[in-house]
Amino acid sequence: MNAIRRCYLGVLVAVLCGCAASPTVQQQGVVIEDRSEVHVEPLPQDRASPESPLSTRDDVLAMARPTPRDAGVSNLAVRSLIETALVQREHGRSAEAIATLERALRVEPRNPLIWHRLAVLRYERAELSQAAQLAAKSNSFAGEEDDLQAKNWKIIAQVREQTGDVPGAMSAHDRAARFERSGE
């Protein structure tokens, strides 16, 4: 009987040690301070693919940077998923980053930041139609987050320009400018 108890105790200790250990991920390009802010360095030009529309558009690349809302994500699981997606993106694993953000959406389906980040990733992958749809979805949940709405309208404008919809692009640029002015 004592041997069985010791065996169970050994298994219990092993399980608890496994639960307590948390693997660390080296996060190149991401600095986490007090787990309340995430700062992301922009992708170097040589890491962007030549056919990527972001390789020549600094204003669109800037959209991938976190907004002040990043620190305000209340759900720790969602914050962790967003941080993981940022690291995956920085390491050129955009498909994994998309899957990670889609997991975050299952937790918080009305979070405009997650929809925006998905739009940026789809734009980077030259999936223009999806990028515009995701940016519009982000705007539908953004409320009074003028900065985020401006970034989404810039994505929509870039998509419209690249698909030959010049009047639509001009209209989207105008809307982005209005949100930028109202957010100042």
CATH of the domain at 50: 1.25.40.10
Count of structural domains within the chain: 1
Residue 11: per-residue pLDDT: 54
Residue 34: per-residue pLDDT: 35
Residue 166: per-residue pLDDT: 96
Number of neighbours of residue 125 by Cβ within 10 angstroms: 17
Question: What Å distances lie between residue 61 and 56, 71, 91, 135, 170, CA to CA?
Answer: 9, 20, 15, 14, 19
Residue 73: per-residue pLDDT: 65
What's this model's pTM, rounded to 2 decimal places? 0.64
Residue 75: per-residue pLDDT: 86
Residue 97: per-residue pLDDT: 97
Domain span at 36? 2-182
Residue 84: per-residue pLDDT: 96
Burial class (CB in 10 A: 0-12, 13-18, 19+), 113: buried
Residue 19: per-residue pLDDT: 43
Residue 9: per-residue pLDDT: 53
Can you give the pLDDT of all 184 residues of the chain as single tens digits?
A: 566 666 555 555 455 544 443 333 333 343 333 333 333 334 333 333 334 344 334 445 444 554 434 445 678 999 999 999 999 999 999 999 999 999 999 999 999 999 999 999 999 999 999 999 999 999 999 999 999 999 999 999 999 999 999 999 999 999 999 999 887 6
